Amino acid sequence: MSDAELDKIINKVEKERKVFVKKSALDTSTQPTKIVSRVNEVEKIVRFLYDYKQEQVVPLLSIYGRSGTGKSTIMRHVCNYIPEIKLCFANLRKAKTVFGGVNLILNELDQPSLTSAQGMNNGMQKIKETILNTMNAEQKKLFVLALDEFDVIFDDKRGNPSDFVYKLVQMQAELKEKGCLSMIVTISNDVLSDYDLDDRIKSRIGNSEIFFKPYSKVKMLQILRQRAEEAFGKKIDDKVLEQCARVSFLEHGDARRAVDLLRVSAEIAAKENKDIAIEHIKSASKQIQKDRVDEVISS
137-153 confidence digits (pLDDT tens): 999 999 999 999 999 99
Residues 201 and 230 in one domain: no
Domain with 291 in it? 215-298
Average pLDDT for residues 101-111, to the nearest whole number? 97
pLDDT exceeds cutoff 90 at 297: no
pLDDT at 4: 74
279: domain CATH number? 1.10.8.60
Would you give the DSSP letter of residue 154? G
Distance CA 149, CA 139 (A): 29
Residue 139 lies in a domain: yes
Question: How would residue 299 be classed by pLDDT, with cut points 50, 70 and 90?
Answer: low
Q: Which helix (H) or strand (E) holds 186?
A: strand 182-188
Torsions phi, psi for 2 (to 5 deg): -80, 165
pLDDT exceeds cutoff 90 at 234: no
In sign, the C-alpha dihedral spanning 40, 45, 46, 47 is: positive
Average pLDDT for residues 113-142, to the nearest whole number? 95
pLDDT at 298: 67
Residue 201 lies in a domain: yes
Nearest partner of 268 among 2, 87, 16, judged by Cα: 16
88: domain CATH number? 3.40.50.300
Residue 6 lies in a domain: no
Average pLDDT for residues 106-117, to the nearest whole number? 94
Residues 128 and 77 in one domain: yes
Lowest model confidence (mean pLDDT) among 179-188, 192-201, 272-281: 192-201
pLDDT at 84: 97
Residues 91 and 236 in one domain: no
Residue 29 lies in a domain: no
pLDDT at 134: 97
Average pLDDT for residues 201-214, to the nearest whole number? 87
pLDDT at 250: 84
pLDDT exceeds cutoff 70 at 193: yes
pLDDT exceeds cutoff 90 at 200: no
* 37 φ/ψ sector (left φ>0, alpha ψ -120 to 50, else beta): left
Average pLDDT for residues 99-109, to the nearest whole number? 96
Higher per-residue pLDDT: 249 or 57: 57
Question: How would residue 96 be classed by pLDDT, with cut points 50, 70 and 90?
Answer: confident
pLDDT at 12: 75
Average pLDDT for residues 123-135, to the nearest whole number? 97
Average pLDDT for residues 82-109, to the nearest whole number? 95
Q: Are the beta carbons of 71 and 215 closer than 8 angstroms?
A: no
- Over the chain, what is the mean pLDDT? 90
Question: How would residue 14 be classed by pLDDT, with cut points 50, 70 and 90?
Answer: confident
Residues 147 and 221 in one domain: no
pLDDT at 203: 80
Which stretches within the chain are classed as H helix?
A: 3-17, 39-49, 71-81, 98-108, 119-138, 161-177, 199-205, 217-232, 238-251, 255-271, 278-298
Domain end marker among 182, 212, 242: 212
What number of other Cβ atoms are within 10 A of residue 286's Cβ? Answer: 11
Distance CA 191, CA 26 (A): 29
Residues 67 and 155 in one domain: yes
pLDDT at 16: 66
pLDDT at 295: 67
